[in-house]
Each structure stands twice: as C-alpha cells, then as structure tokens.
Amino acid sequence: MVKNPRISSLCGLVNRVTGSLGYNAPPSLETKLALANSHVTESVKILGITPNIDLFPSRLNFQLKPYVSYKPDPEAVAIDAFKLNWGKHCFYAFPLFSLIARVLNKMQTDKATGVVIVPFWPAQTFYPIHMKVLIDKPVLLSARQTLLQLPGNPSMLHPLHEKLRLLVCKVSGTPTKAEDYLIQQPTYLCHRGNQKPKRHMSNILQSGRGSLANNKLILFHHL
C-alpha cells in the first residue's frame, strides 16, 4: 500500500508526542492523548453501547472506572490491558496509535466487543482491518481545539488539533457479528461525477462521508 506522506508524517509526530512505541512506556506517557469526556459520552450514546472498563488510560485521563493502567496505580483494577481477557468485558479503548494493530489482534483473539477510537487515517495499514471489524456506523469527530488535550497541561493545544480527526467505533472480534453488519451495508457504486479514489486512498470516498470495506459503503455519524 502506498502511504500518504502527509498522513505518515502525522503518525510520526503523534508517536513522538506520546512517547514510547511500546506498551512498557516511560512516565512521559502522561502526556498521551486525552479525549474530551463530552465527546466520549455523546459518541457512545449514538452507538448505543455502555462500556464497563477503560483499557488504556492513565490516572489523569481515564474515561470510566474500573480502568487498567500501564504502570502501578492504586486506583487501577489491573496493570497492562494485554494480560486481561477482553471477552469478559464491554471495553473502551483509546490506545496509543502505535498499538492499534496489536489492539485489533487482541480483540479478535478474545472475541471481544467494545469501543475503539482510532485516527481517521485511511492510508495506514491498520485502517482497512479496522473497517472490517465494525458492527455499527462509526462516529467521526472533526478536528477542533477542544477535541484532544495533554493531561499534564490542559491549557496547551495539541499539536495536531487543526488536522486530526478521530473515529469512535463499535467493534467486535467475533467474525459473524462483523460479517453480518458488513453484509447489510450498501454496495458502493461510483457514479458519474464522483471521482474514483486515488490508489493510496482507495478505501475512502472523495466526499469524506464514509469509507469502503470489501466494496461495501460504510457511512459515518458526524460530531
């Protein structure tokens, strides 16, 4: 897959901002992305799901309790989300972007259902995989100053605030659930006047209203 250089550069910037590429992260990870609670509340309401555990927060940016920490934390129910069986929970996950592929694999291994938040980066390798585990229409959060904050300094604007859009997605690692949802979606037909997507953006419509998965049209809610 040919990657969009502009999007790839954003990936690199996010990884520098969020610290380590591994999950055994240093204390500097306290500056990782934190999504405004109001956006989370509205998104899960639209998706009609009630998560009961937060898998990837710190003590400064958890969205709900119980939560799982990446380091010792007296308020956390456990340490290291990858050591848990996600299939026992309806989970909420806003992982480091460098961990998204690992999160998708774990979710499928445990046949778990929950909410995963990912950047709207169609040229990245995780994106088409993510589209195929959806079980509901995603919520697209548009770029804005209030979308993301750095927990260590709430008044500081995140360096990607003008460009970064996020998808809040109801997903499942149970193949039949994802397949049933995808089958119900309309087949995408490229009509006259609607330009075909470029090769490196082949899984997103030019209109930006949705994406494609196995030639099925997946429209987004917008917030």
105-139 pLDDT per residue, tens: 999 999 999 999 999 988 899 999 999 999 999 99
In a domain, 214, yes or no: no
Question: Residues 218, 147, 51, 30: is their CA dihedral positive or negative?
Answer: positive
Phi, psi of 139 (to 5 degrees): -105, 120
Give the domain CATH number at 157.
Answer: 3.40.50
Burial 7-45 (b: 16+ CB within 10 A, else e): beebbeebeebbbeeebebeeebbbbbbbeeebbebbbe
In a domain, 183, yes or no: no
pLDDT at 35: 82
Averaged over 51-60, what is the pLDDT?
Answer: 92
pLDDT at 198: 46
- The pTM of the full predicted model, rounded to 2 decimals, is 0.80
Averaged over 62-72, what is the pLDDT?
Answer: 92
Share of the chain above pLDDT 70, in %: 74
In a domain, 219, yes or no: no
In a domain, 129, yes or no: yes
pLDDT at 191: 54
In a domain, 115, yes or no: yes
Count of domains forming the chain: 1
pLDDT at 54: 97
In a domain, 91, yes or no: yes
In a domain, 35, yes or no: yes
190-217 pLDDT per residue, tens: 655 555 544 434 545 556 688 888 888 8
In a domain, 181, yes or no: no
Residue 137 belongs to domain spanning: 5-176
